[in-house]
Amino acid sequence: MLLLGDGSPTRHLELLTGEPTEVDVIDMSFIGMDLDDAPELIHKVPGPRLRRQVWLRTPGGQRLAYATSWWEASHVDEYLQNRSLPIWASLARLRTELYRDVRGIYYGYSPALEVGFNVEGPFWGRHYLFWHHGQPLTLIYEVFSPYLTKYLGATQLETVN
């Protein structure tokens, strides 16, 4: 549901935990036309670009997801008027109609995310484009904490011989 759904992952996290989802903004940097090691779809977001990196967490500080988004720098203030809010909250306040186009799913390990989440991987992630009025609005890359198994139940991959 979190990986393939076209609903708000931040809203899904709130429903799972029963708590508000808060945002810790790690970084907001002007990256110009740099591809920034982003998914290939970065080319769809007009430049110059701004990169926003956040942790999504519970009010108690439990990190639930990491996200990076890339925005056309000249329009980011229009859509993220309060940068401390989750993207969906900002866009919902503006009544922005969107289409979420999920384009990639990931499963793997990352030493940096293990440190950030304070839990060993593997991690599930995805990337997608938000479209607004037929134009790409932002590219988003999200990774979810294995801590979510507390709410979703454990996952087990079986090896077929």
- Over residues 32-46, the pLDDT tens digits come to 999 999 999 999 999
pTM attached to this predicted model: 0.84
- Over residues 30-82, the pLDDT tens digits come to 999 999 999 999 999 999 999 999 999 999 999 999 999 998 888 777 767 66
pLDDT of residue 89: 59
CATH of the domain at 43: 3.40.1410.10
* Domain of residue 16, residue span: 9-152
32 within a domain of the structure (yes/no): yes
47 within a domain of the structure (yes/no): yes
- Over residues 106-136, the pLDDT tens digits come to 999 999 999 999 999 999 999 999 888 888 8
Here the contacts of 12-21 (C-beta below 8 Å, separation 24 or greater) are 13/56, 13/64, 13/65, 13/148, 16/148, 16/151, 16/152, 17/58, 17/64, 17/151, 19/58, 19/59, 19/60, 20/58, 20/59, 21/56, 21/57, 21/58, 21/64, 21/86
Domain count of the chain?
A: 1
23 within a domain of the structure (yes/no): yes
158 within a domain of the structure (yes/no): no
